[in-house]
Amino acid sequence: MSIKSIAAKIFAKKIYKKTQAWVVNPVETQKKVFEQLIEEAKNTKFGFDHNFAQIKTTADFAKQVPIRDYEGLKTYIDKVVEGAENILWKGKPLYFAKTSGTTSGAKYIPLTKESIPYHIDAARNAILHYINETGNADFVNGKMIFLQGSPILEEKNGIKLGRLSGIVAHFVPKYLQKNRMPSLTTNCIDDWETKVNAIVEETFNQNMSVISGIPSWVQMYFEKLQQKGGKPVGEIFKNFNLFIYGGVNYEPYRAKFENLIGRKVDSIELFPASEGFFAYQDSQKEKGMLLLLNAGIFYEFIKSDEFQNENARRYTIGEVELNVNYVLIISTNAGLWGYNIGDTVQFISLKPYRIIVSGRIKHFISAFGEHVIGKEVENALQEAIIGTDIRINEFTVAPQITPEAGLPYHEWFIEFENQPQDSATFAQAIDNAMRKQNMYYDDLIVGKVLQKVIVTKVAKNGFQDYMRSIGKLGGQNKIPRLSDNRNIVDLLKRE
């Protein structure tokens, strides 16, 4: 065992103990975070406008600060982008994480000197929890790759801006610099396909032990590695034993990945976003991700089926229940207040507070009142392929409201690696799984309002071609699992 792996185990134990100190006091931890946020921001423009000086409780906060998304905060953010100080948070942000908006064009999410360390520490601590639990630390001696956006930053009114992953790349600890790949030159390539090809060439003969990224884009990297080497990724990288991912559920990709790798590897799930690093998988034995209650973020939760109601109740951490779909609302030390990030979560443990990401509040199908969410379609697909050799590259679901004949239906657009031998049986399995999960959907099938799901096969690389066509190939971009319209699926190439 190397000195580096011994040191990693010692450090992992220390961080685990430090984490447990707040894990066992979740309500008190969130109370302290809340009070600190209000105190730090009470003299900002937002603090004056919302009477922070008089806020003593979370109930006061809920009365004074309405729920907003980016559009709702845009008048404040625009002032920050223009260079004004003390608007949402004290002083100016250090960076803007630039993301794509659907209605507002580019979105500029502030990152402050207080918020950035939590982004860095959370990713590190996820790995350290894995080391502490499993005792596996040999991977620290190998090479590690993080498929991410370009670290090249622009500047706007004296504030640097770029993709979150590119900004974070500037904060990689020195002890990881020698192990980190790809090179800066390769990482700065803007075109995704060119970049992946360069990464393949650069890493092919390296001792890769950790690989990290969004599954759909890591899959592209693995496929190109396999094409070049003519053998599974696990044989090319014999010491590759840890996959770190975030952004989407890994389960639909798992069978395909195990085939590409040629064996099973451990994995760690992360829940990062430009707005904050919210959770990470802290155990290989337990499901879900540990919600980070001490990370400069105050959390509120609104039941998703009540979200559209005026004055919907906002729950704090001590009030949440298991297996309820909540819209995640955050207030942060980067100056986002009562902010709806668009994700929905469910708690699968309350001791400690562990969550799964169940979908997006805007990504659902309720064309007929069924309100199907992302978690349900992912679970249904996973159940349908259990015990088969079916492998999925990518998928999305949309309603067909006006079919040429027959009843309306949910149409599943799937790019297969290995196709089902009997498409009708496969579609029936999906439909059965959906009916078990969603009683509204079941009622619509029973009442002959809907017919069972229709599976439409997408041409090979059809989803990549679609993402390329809209300028969102690679990086942090993801295909929505489902939507209430056919804007995406109408552009997909069928087999």
CA distance 73 to 88: 9
pLDDT at 103: 43
pLDDT at 415: 94
pLDDT at 369: 74
Q: How large is the average pLDDT for residues 146-158?
A: 86
Q: Are the C-beta atoms of 186 and 169 separated by less than 8 Å?
A: no
Q: What is the pTM of this model?
A: 0.82
Is the pLDDT at 441 greater than 60, yes or no?
Answer: yes
Q: Letter for the amino acid at 280?
A: Y
Q: Are the C-beta atoms of 45 and 76 separated by less than 8 Å?
A: yes
In sequence order, which residues have a C-beta less than 8 Å from that of residue 322 and are 6 or more positions away? 346, 347, 348, 349, 350
CA distance 105 to 161: 15
Q: How large is the average pLDDT for residues 440-467?
A: 91
Q: How large is the average pLDDT for residues 427-443?
A: 91
Q: How large is the average pLDDT for residues 134-150?
A: 89
Is the pLDDT at 478 greater than 90, yes or no?
Answer: no
Q: Letter for the amino acid at 419?
A: Q
Is the pLDDT at 156 greater than 80, yes or no?
Answer: yes
Least confident of 96-100, 263-267, 275-279, 458-462: 96-100
- Residue 439's SS3 state is helix
**Structure letter (DSSP) for residue 50:** T
Q: Give me 157's structure tokens.
A: 């009114």
Spell out the alpha helix ranges (H) of 24-173: 26-41, 45-49, 58-64, 70-81, 116-134, 164-168
Q: How large is the average pLDDT for residues 425-450?
A: 91
Q: How large is the average pLDDT for residues 6-21?
A: 95
pLDDT at 278: 98
Query: What is the chain's length?
Result: 495
CA distance 35 to 333: 11
Q: Are the C-beta atoms of 126 and 272 separated by less than 8 Å?
A: no
Least confident of 164-173, 282-291, 331-340, 456-465: 164-173
Q: How large is the average pLDDT for residues 466-491?
A: 84
Q: Give me 100's structure tokens.
A: 């794509």
The dihedrals phi and psi of 108, each to the nearest 5 degrees, come to: -115, 105
| Closest C-alpha among 61, 65, 69 to residue 35 | 61
- Residue 331's SS3 state is strand
Is the pLDDT at 318 greater than 90, yes or no?
Answer: yes
- When pLDDT is cut at 50, 70 and 90, the band that residue 102 belongs to is very low
**Helical (H) or strand (E) element with 246:** strand 242-246
Q: Letter for the amino acid at 129?
A: H
Report, in angstroms and rounded to the nearest whole number, the Rg of the chain calculated over CA atoms.
23
pLDDT at 475: 64
- Residue 409's SS3 state is strand
**143-146 vs 180-181, strand pairing mode:** parallel
Q: How large is the average pLDDT for residues 206-215?
A: 92
The per-residue pLDDT of the chain, averaged, comes to: 91
Is the pLDDT at 201 greater than 90, yes or no?
Answer: yes
The string over 262-281, giving b where at least 16 C-beta atoms fall within 10 Å of a residue's C-beta and e elsewhere, is: eeebebbbbbbbbbbbbbbb
Q: How large is the average pLDDT for residues 161-181?
A: 81
Residue reference for tokens 């109601």: 309
